[in-house]
Amino acid sequence: MSSYRQRLLHAHLAPGMTWRALQRLHADDPSLERYAKHSIDTLIGLTGCRSKSAHVWQSYWKSTSVVELEKEMKGLGVIPITKDDPSYPLRLLQMPDPPWVIYCKGNLSLCNKETLAVIGTRLPSNYGVRATEELLPPVVQSGRVIVSGLARGIDTIAHKRAIIAKGKTIAVIAGGFFHIYPRENKALAETLANNHLIISEYPPDRRPQKWHFPERNRIISALSDRIFVVEAGERSGTLITVDQALEQGRDVCALPGTIYSKMSMGTNRLIEQGAAIVLRSSDL
């Protein structure tokens, strides 16, 4: 007899399963006793999915065992945590749309520490790089955990600086653990999995898609006490994270920059709109 947790995990692992489809399956049947027994037509009617997706899900649920899937993940160091699990991070539960399942590698207790999210452009200037490298060590040494998204640029620098300063860091990734993006951060991801924490709301075999990046940004902001924006263009994706942070009631602070740099347009605008200005480590 499967538990609710196992049924939720099994439903979530189906290839192409979406947050909305799972929400609709759950609303129809809160115990998820029937998710794998639905006909194709019922699945389409309940979730609004395409016929192809319904066939894939039905086939997957019939041909796989959640017990075996859990064993496989455990062997790979992946810990799936469902929303009803006592160890599910409280900060995520307080979101308007907490992920049904999070997949973790590393030390989940880091989610309960004081945290600072560090976000910014994938193409930082020398000024942005230097500011990140010089401002973060005192923050890390004060005990704050650095949260970022393992992307190129500011994210990568933030994670590495936390490690060098002998602190802790959390990476929230788009896509699953088997498809680390960008590829050049595979070694960094391994270090984080062994000594820090990586979180994804996507099953391990899910390839990152464009829309995964803005989706994972809401988790970065939810896990953080404050958000530090280093460099961002005026229409940067980084500013999506800022919007989500403000909706979640988080403090936002930003690094000021020259009016002649495109990479400082977004941060200067944030300061103009009321974000705290960062001039020294103590401001963080």
CA atoms within 13 A on the CB side of 99: 31
The class that CATH gives domain 108-283 is alpha beta
Q: Is 115 helix (H, G, I), strand (E, B) or coil?
A: strand
Q: What are the DSSP E strand ranges found in 168-269?
A: 169-172, 197-200, 226-229, 251-254
Domain boundaries defined on the chain = 1-75, 108-283
Q: What are the DSSP E strand ranges found in 132-275?
A: 145-148, 169-172, 197-200, 226-229, 251-254
Question: Distance between CA 69 and CA 154 in Å, rounded?
Answer: 35
Residue 232: which of 74, 157, 124, 151 has the closest Cα? 124
pLDDT at res. 191: 97
Tokens standing for residue 229 = 């924006």
pLDDT at res. 108: 95
Residues of the chain with pLDDT under 50: none
224 touches 250 (CB < 8 A): yes
Give Cα 229 distance to the centre of its chain.
17
Which residues pair with residue 146 across a beta bridge?
Answer: 116, 169
The CATH architecture annotation of domain 1-75 reads: Orthogonal Bundle (1.10)
pLDDT at res. 1: 64
pLDDT at res. 96: 86
How many helices (DSSP H) and strands (DSSP E) are in the chain? 12, 9
pTM to 2 decimal places: 0.93
pLDDT at res. 240: 77
pLDDT at res. 247: 82
User: Around Cβ 94, how many Cβ atoms within 10 Å?
Assistant: 11
